[in-house]
Amino acid sequence: MSVRKIAQRYDNRAEMLVQVLVALVQQNGWISEDDIRELADALNLSRADVHGVVEYYHDFRTEPPGSHIVKLCRAEACQAMGGRELAAHAEEVAGGDTTLEAVYCLGNCACAPAVMIDGKTYGRVDAERLDALLASLAEAAS
Ligand code: FES
């Protein structure tokens, strides 16, 4: 569905910008510069207005996501249990088809550090376990 059609579903109301962006990300996985331009026209907003909202929310990606989404918890309980080191390791080993995202609590604090891979949560993840999880993604794809 085009950006204009999504905006029409919300009666082209500027106050529905966040909902339109959510629908767009659900459909396409990300928001392009062209989407922002079209959306600004459709909702009678400036591109800066739309950009401001897109940049404010973490879930509004401005680049196409990889085939796998790995969310690494960066909140306190996970940081205290090695989350920072795990995130640094993930940056080193994640392949180009994997999108890494920082999140702030996955509700799995008792099993910190926690990660979510393609919607499934894992606890007590160290570098070795993360490597195994990423390897299983690669195996599943081949
Ligand atoms: S702080 Fe990481 S899951 Fe809650």
Residue 13 has a CB neighbour count (10 Å cut-off) of 12
Mutate-to-test residue for ligand 1 from 84, 108, 121, highest number of ligand atoms within 8 A of CB = 108
Amino acid at 2: S
Distance from residue 43's CA to the centre of ligand 1 (Å): 37
pLDDT score of 96 more than 90: no
pLDDT tens sequence across 53-87: 999 998 899 989 899 999 999 999 999 999 999 99
Residues with CB under 6 A from ligand 1: 73, 75-78, 105-106, 108-109, 112, 114
Task: Identify the pLDDT of residue 95.
Answer: 83
Amino acid at 73: C
Q: When comparing pLDDT for 140 and 10, which is higher?
A: 10
Please provide the average confidence, as pLDDT, over all residues in the chain: 94
CATH classification code of 68-141: 3.40.30.10
Distance from residue 74's CA to the centre of ligand 1 (Å): 7
- Tabulate helix, strand, coil % of the chain (nearest 5): 55, 15, 35
Nearest-atom number in ligand 1 for the CA of 76 is 1
**pTM of model > 0.85:** no
